[in-house]
Structure 1
């Protein structure tokens, strides 16, 4: 009687496993031959480059009337502070610090127009913020805000300080002196390179205790 060959139990599975292992080895050999080295260690290639330009084309620069001046206003773009020229009435940009501060605040808290939004600009300064008159015992050039400066977001405070720091009438001994509606004494704030590069950092802008 002719014997019938019966495959051992599990043989097909073993053959499939061997075939799969062989395919993996062949793929590895091909990869090695192409100069590609495999690794199980994740590689940090760094952050993807930003596509946000943070720069307005010359054709999109806001036009101003003959009786206005271009004042730099700091907005947020790509997690940094970037200046944008805004038109401010000539009579409000100079002599009176309170008038200049109010004009600049009005500009920095406005929602950026479409051309600036397309370039990636935004503002964190709240619309309801106001600049009030200083008190008799305040240091010279003090600006009192309707909110405590420390209660603003880090980005909003950095925007305001750096915008004011561009106006000589609002700077005393290199700092912008800000106070709030409470009894806390005003403090001097510095707009540094770190303030501009990392406005979201709670440690910026640097604050100085005034005598």
Structure 2
């Protein structure tokens, strides 16, 4: 029995040495203790996307997946008599989508949203540029993830080709700022601040 046990131990040591020698880490070999965790795909199935888009106006919102921002296809329904050309109504529909719980397919793919409280939006106040949007919660009071989600969604949704969106709070003393959605922000929204600048 001792000889047999020694032989098994020697064989196991030889296998481990062979694996390390060919560049494969021994800890990544499947064992009876379970498989290694799989990577989150951050994509939804095509049928789910098409079904969503067919229900209304196709839009894109930015959700969180794997600590990054990823664009997701959604659809919104605007009030009667409104169109996608109405920036305020479209912006409100996009903000409402960010607060919606992820669909079954989105949740399965690992998507989530940090926009949890209701956000309302108004058009420009007196003295604001025409394309300014005023939020019930100023962008600087949102969490890092939520601010990045809101900015990137609005830049791509109502930006009309602009690289930035003008946002501020609804209070009279709330400063209006220009916010940009960059590759760095989308890659690391919790670490990289959303670039912003004052509006004269």
TM-score relative to the length of structure 2: 0.74
Going from structure 1 to structure 2, the CA distance change for 1:185 and 1:61 (only over 3 Å counts) comes to same
Going from structure 1 to structure 2, the CA distance change for 1:36 and 1:89 (only over 3 Å counts) comes to closer
* Residue 66 (structure 1) shift: 5.4
1:204 aligns with 2:193: yes
Going from structure 1 to structure 2, the CA distance change for 1:113 and 1:140 (only over 3 Å counts) comes to same
Q: Residue 138 of structure 2 aligns with which residue?
A: 148
Are 2:169 and 2:176, in contact at CA under 8 Å, matched by a contact in 1?
A: yes
Q: Residue 56 of structure 2 aligns with which residue?
A: 68
Going from structure 1 to structure 2, the CA distance change for 1:142 and 1:52 (only over 3 Å counts) comes to same
1:178 equivalent among 160, 164, 167:
167
Give deviations 1:121-160, integer Å, cap 9, x for gaps. Answer: 0000123222133211112211111111101001101111
* Residue 51 (structure 1) shift: 1.5
Going from structure 1 to structure 2, the CA distance change for 1:69 and 1:36 (only over 3 Å counts) comes to closer
Q: Residue 166 of structure 1 aligns with which residue?
A: 156
Aligned length: 172
Local SS of the residue matching 2:193: coil
How many angstroms apart in 2 are the aligned matches of 1:49 and 1:210? 47
Q: Residue 95 of structure 2 aligns with which residue?
A: 105
Are 2:53 and 2:73, in contact at CA under 8 Å, matched by a contact in 1?
A: no
Going from structure 1 to structure 2, the CA distance change for 1:145 and 1:35 (only over 3 Å counts) comes to same
* Runs of 4 or more above 3 Å deviation: 34-37, 64-67, 90-93, 169-173
How many angstroms apart in 2 are the aligned matches of 1:184 and 1:104? 22
- Unpaired runs of 5+ residues, structure 2, are 1-9, 21-35
2:114 equivalent among 124, 135, 146:
124
- Unpaired runs of 5+ residues, structure 1, are 1-26, 38-47
1:139 equivalent among 100, 121, 129:
129
Going from structure 1 to structure 2, the CA distance change for 1:93 and 1:109 (only over 3 Å counts) comes to farther
Are 1:93 and 1:103, in contact at CA under 8 Å, matched by a contact in 2?
A: no
**What do you get for the CA RMSD once the two structures are aligned?**
2.9
1:78 aligns with 2:66: yes
How many angstroms apart in 1 are the aligned matches of 2:66 and 2:181? 18
How many angstroms apart in 2 are the aligned matches of 1:111 and 1:56? 15
